[in-house]
Amino acid sequence: MAERERRLTRPFGGVFVPRTQVMDADDLRRATWRMAHEIIEANGGVDDVVLVGLQTGGVPLAERLQAALLEIEGVEVPAGRLDVAFHRDDIGLRPVLPEAPTDVPFPIDGAVVVLVDDVLFTGRTIRAALDALTSFGRPRAVQLAVMIDRGHRELPIRPDYVGKNLPTRKDEAVDVHDDGVDLGEVVK
C-alpha cells in the first residue's frame, strides 16, 4: 500500500492489517474500464488529455487507465509520475522525504491534466499536487480520478472520476493493490 497512506494513518508508520476485501481483481478491472470511458465522455475524446499518477499509489492506476484509453480510443495518452513531497503542507510537522521520482516529460500548458491517485482521503495530497503542477505549466483544466473515495475531506477537493465510494472510520485504512482493495487497520 502507499507509504503515504500508511504514514497518514495512526499509528504513523505501522503495518497494514487487512480485515475485509471491498473490491476484487475483477471489480478493479471493471471500475478502471468505466472510469476510462467517463474520462473520454467528459472531455469529448482524449485530445489534450494527459495523465499524472501520484507517487506511489496512483502510478499503477495511471498506467492501467492509459492502457484502457489506448484500447478504447486507440490513442496513447501521455502519462507522467509526480511525487508531491516537496509541496506538502506538513513539512516540519513530521518526517517528509520524497519516495519516488517525478517525471513529467511533456508540456502541460493548455492540457487537461487528469491527476490519478489510489485513495482520496483528506484531500491534502491533491492540494499539494495542484501546487506542484504550477511549476510545470498552466493546464486548461485539472481533473481528479481516484479508485477509492473514503471521505473525511479536510479541504474543498472533489473527485471527477471515482472507482468506488467507501465510507470509512478515520482510524481505518484502505489498501489498493494489483488484486483488489482491502479495508483494515494500521498497527505498530
Is residue 11 within 8 Å of 171, Cβ to Cβ?
no
Give the shortest CB-110-to-other proteins separation in angstroms: 13
Helix (H) or strand (E) run with residue 80 in it: strand 79-82
Tell me how crowded residue 66 is: count the other CB atoms within 10 A of its CB.
20
Closer residue to other proteins, CB minimum distance, 134 or 165: 134
Query: Of 67, 28, 65, nearest to 143 (Cα)?
Result: 65
State the residue for C-alpha cell 501521455: 78
Cβ closest to other proteins, residue 4 vs residue 64: 4
As beta bridge partners, residue 105 has: none
Minimal distance in Å, beta carbon 139 to other proteins?
12
Q: Pick between residue 53 and residue 159 the one whose CB is nearest to other proteins.
A: 53
**What is the nearest approach in angstroms of other proteins to the Cβ of residue 100?**
9
Q: Which residue has the cell 502510478?
A: 59
Cα(147)–Cα(152) distance, integer angstroms: 16
Report the residue number, 75 or 130, with the smaller CB distance to other proteins. 130
Q: Which is nearer to other proteins, 6 or 164 (CB)?
A: 6
- Complete edge-to-edge strand list for the sheet that includes strand 112-120: 79-82, 49-54, 112-120, 141-149, 161-165
* Residues engaged in binding other proteins (CB under 8 A): 83, 85-87, 91-98, 101-104, 131-132, 134-137
Rounded to the nearest whole angstrom, what is the least distance from the CB of residue 90 to other proteins in the complex?
9
In this structure, are residues 114 and 50 in contact, taking their beta carbons and an 8 Å threshold? Answer: yes
The least CB distance from residue 115 to other proteins, in Å, is: 16
